[in-house]
Protein backbone atom coordinates (compact mmCIF):
# COMPACT_ATOMS: atom_id res chain seq x y z
CA UNK A 1 0.00 0.00 0.00
CA UNK A 2 1.21 3.50 -0.66
CA UNK A 3 1.07 6.52 1.60
CA UNK A 4 -0.34 9.85 0.46
CA UNK A 5 3.11 10.79 -0.86
CA UNK A 6 3.34 7.58 -2.93
CA UNK A 7 5.87 5.85 -0.66
CA UNK A 8 5.50 2.23 0.41
CA UNK A 9 3.93 2.13 3.86
CA UNK A 10 4.77 -1.54 4.30
CA UNK A 11 1.12 -2.37 4.78
CA UNK A 12 -0.65 -4.98 2.71
CA UNK A 13 -4.32 -5.62 2.36
CA UNK A 14 -5.27 -8.77 4.21
CA UNK A 15 -7.78 -10.94 2.44
CA UNK A 16 -9.55 -14.09 3.52
CA UNK A 17 -7.73 -16.96 1.79
CA UNK A 18 -9.73 -19.16 -0.55
CA UNK A 19 -9.75 -22.90 0.15
CA UNK A 20 -6.70 -23.61 -2.02
CA UNK A 21 -4.62 -20.80 -0.50
CA UNK A 22 -5.77 -21.75 3.00
CA UNK A 23 -4.62 -25.33 2.52
CA UNK A 24 -1.13 -24.40 1.36
CA UNK A 25 -0.81 -21.70 4.04
CA UNK A 26 -1.79 -24.30 6.64
CA UNK A 27 1.00 -26.53 5.32
CA UNK A 28 3.53 -23.66 5.52
CA UNK A 29 2.43 -22.85 9.08
CA UNK A 30 2.74 -26.51 10.10
CA UNK A 31 6.25 -26.64 8.61
CA UNK A 32 7.13 -23.55 10.65
CA UNK A 33 5.70 -24.97 13.88
CA UNK A 34 7.50 -28.28 13.34
CA UNK A 35 10.73 -26.42 12.70
CA UNK A 36 10.37 -24.64 16.04
CA UNK A 37 9.79 -28.01 17.74
CA UNK A 38 12.98 -29.27 16.04
CA UNK A 39 15.00 -26.28 17.31
CA UNK A 40 14.76 -24.05 14.22
CA UNK A 41 13.14 -20.73 13.41
CA UNK A 42 9.36 -20.19 13.05
CA UNK A 43 9.27 -20.08 9.25
CA UNK A 44 7.97 -22.53 6.66
CA UNK A 45 7.36 -22.29 2.92
CA UNK A 46 5.64 -24.26 0.16
CA UNK A 47 6.03 -23.71 -3.60
CA UNK A 48 3.17 -24.85 -5.83
CA UNK A 49 2.77 -24.94 -9.60
CA UNK A 50 -0.26 -26.29 -11.46
CA UNK A 51 -1.75 -27.67 -8.26
CA UNK A 52 1.33 -29.70 -7.35
CA UNK A 53 3.78 -29.00 -4.52
CA UNK A 54 7.21 -28.56 -6.07
CA UNK A 55 9.12 -28.12 -2.83
CA UNK A 56 8.94 -27.06 0.79
CA UNK A 57 11.40 -25.26 3.00
CA UNK A 58 12.03 -24.52 6.64
CA UNK A 59 14.28 -21.93 8.21
CA UNK A 60 17.75 -23.47 8.65
CA UNK A 61 19.71 -20.36 9.63
CA UNK A 62 20.85 -21.50 13.06
CA UNK A 63 20.92 -25.19 12.23
CA UNK A 64 23.16 -24.72 9.15
CA UNK A 65 24.95 -21.56 10.36
CA UNK A 66 23.80 -19.94 7.12
CA UNK A 67 22.14 -16.52 7.31
CA UNK A 68 20.65 -17.07 3.83
CA UNK A 69 18.98 -20.39 4.70
CA UNK A 70 15.53 -18.88 5.14
CA UNK A 71 12.51 -21.10 4.54
CA UNK A 72 11.57 -19.30 1.32
CA UNK A 73 15.11 -19.39 -0.08
CA UNK A 74 15.43 -23.08 0.83
CA UNK A 75 12.13 -23.84 -0.91
CA UNK A 76 13.14 -21.82 -3.98
CA UNK A 77 16.47 -23.66 -4.21
CA UNK A 78 14.75 -27.05 -3.92
CA UNK A 79 11.98 -26.17 -6.39
CA UNK A 80 14.50 -25.01 -8.99
CA UNK A 81 16.28 -28.35 -8.69
CA UNK A 82 12.98 -30.19 -9.12
CA UNK A 83 12.03 -28.32 -12.30
CA UNK A 84 15.59 -28.10 -13.62
CA UNK A 85 15.45 -24.36 -14.16
CA UNK A 86 16.25 -21.15 -12.30
CA UNK A 87 12.82 -19.80 -13.24
CA UNK A 88 9.75 -20.71 -11.23
CA UNK A 89 7.39 -18.80 -13.51
CA UNK A 90 3.84 -20.01 -13.04
CA UNK A 91 4.46 -20.95 -9.41
CA UNK A 92 3.17 -19.57 -6.13
CA UNK A 93 5.13 -19.31 -2.90
CA UNK A 94 3.08 -19.87 0.25
CA UNK A 95 4.88 -18.84 3.40
CA UNK A 96 4.11 -18.73 7.08
CA UNK A 97 5.35 -15.14 7.33
CA UNK A 98 5.74 -12.13 5.06
CA UNK A 99 8.99 -12.58 3.18
CA UNK A 100 11.87 -10.50 4.49
CA UNK A 101 13.75 -8.39 1.92
CA UNK A 102 16.13 -11.29 1.19
CA UNK A 103 13.27 -13.70 0.51
CA UNK A 104 11.25 -11.16 -1.42
CA UNK A 105 14.26 -10.51 -3.65
CA UNK A 106 14.81 -14.26 -4.12
CA UNK A 107 11.13 -14.57 -5.09
CA UNK A 108 11.56 -11.85 -7.71
CA UNK A 109 14.76 -13.44 -9.06
CA UNK A 110 12.98 -16.82 -9.24
CA UNK A 111 10.23 -15.20 -11.33
CA UNK A 112 7.48 -16.52 -9.07
CA UNK A 113 4.03 -15.41 -10.18
CA UNK A 114 2.66 -14.90 -6.69
CA UNK A 115 3.55 -14.85 -2.99
CA UNK A 116 0.94 -15.54 -0.31
CA UNK A 117 1.85 -15.13 3.36
CA UNK A 118 0.16 -15.55 6.73
CA UNK A 119 1.91 -13.60 9.54
CA UNK A 120 3.48 -10.24 8.71
CA UNK A 121 6.65 -8.27 9.48
CA UNK A 122 5.10 -6.95 12.68
CA UNK A 123 4.49 -10.48 13.94
CA UNK A 124 8.12 -11.30 13.08
CA UNK A 125 9.32 -8.22 14.98
CA UNK A 126 7.28 -9.30 18.00
CA UNK A 127 9.14 -12.62 17.81
CA UNK A 128 12.50 -10.85 17.82
CA UNK A 129 13.27 -11.04 14.09
CA UNK A 130 14.75 -8.17 12.05
CA UNK A 131 12.33 -8.19 9.09
CA UNK A 132 10.64 -4.92 10.05
CA UNK A 133 13.95 -3.24 10.89
CA UNK A 134 15.37 -4.23 7.49
CA UNK A 135 12.32 -2.94 5.64
CA UNK A 136 12.67 0.34 7.55
CA UNK A 137 16.42 0.45 6.81
CA UNK A 138 15.81 0.15 3.07
CA UNK A 139 13.54 3.18 3.30
CA UNK A 140 16.40 5.34 4.67
CA UNK A 141 19.32 6.82 2.73
CA UNK A 142 22.38 4.56 2.65
CA UNK A 143 24.41 7.34 4.23
CA UNK A 144 22.42 6.70 7.43
CA UNK A 145 23.03 2.94 7.56
CA UNK A 146 25.23 1.44 10.27
CA UNK A 147 26.99 -0.66 7.59
CA UNK A 148 29.02 1.26 5.02
CA UNK A 149 28.14 0.69 1.36
CA UNK A 150 30.91 2.11 -0.82
CA UNK A 151 31.61 2.07 -4.53
CA UNK A 152 35.21 1.45 -5.57
CA UNK A 153 35.21 1.56 -9.36
CA UNK A 154 38.47 0.51 -11.01
CA UNK A 155 38.99 1.11 -14.71
CA UNK A 156 37.90 -2.45 -15.57
CA UNK A 157 34.80 -2.51 -13.34
CA UNK A 158 32.47 -3.27 -16.26
CA UNK A 159 34.73 -5.97 -17.79
CA UNK A 160 32.69 -8.91 -16.45
CA UNK A 161 29.57 -7.48 -18.10
CA UNK A 162 31.44 -6.88 -21.34
CA UNK A 163 32.53 -10.53 -21.28
CA UNK A 164 28.96 -11.59 -20.53
CA UNK A 165 27.57 -9.63 -23.46
CA UNK A 166 30.21 -11.10 -25.78
CA UNK A 167 29.63 -14.71 -24.66
CA UNK A 168 27.71 -16.72 -27.27
CA UNK A 169 26.90 -19.51 -24.81
CA UNK A 170 25.33 -17.38 -22.08
CA UNK A 171 21.92 -18.19 -20.63
CA UNK A 172 19.96 -14.97 -20.35
CA UNK A 173 17.84 -14.42 -17.28
Positions annotated as catalytic residues are 72
Could you give the CA distance from residue 71 to residue 33 in angstroms, rounded to a whole number? 12
Of 14, 63, 24, 66, the C-alpha closest to 45 is: 24
Question: Residue 55: how many CA atoms within 13 Å on its side-chain side?
Answer: 18
What's the order of all strands across the beta sheet hosting 91-97?
52-58, 44-49, 91-97, 114-119
Beta strands in the chain (DSSP E): 44-49, 52-58, 91-97, 114-119
Radius of gyration of the chain (CA): 18
Collapsed DSSP state (helix, strand, coil) of residue 95:
strand
Q: 20 by DSSP, 3-state: which? A: helix
Q: Residue 46 — φ and ψ, nearest 5°?
A: -135, 135
Amino acid sequence: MSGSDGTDTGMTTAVEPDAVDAGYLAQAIELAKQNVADGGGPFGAVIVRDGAVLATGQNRVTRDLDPTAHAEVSAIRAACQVVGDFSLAGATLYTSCEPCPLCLSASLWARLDRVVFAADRYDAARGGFDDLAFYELFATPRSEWSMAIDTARPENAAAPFDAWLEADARTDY
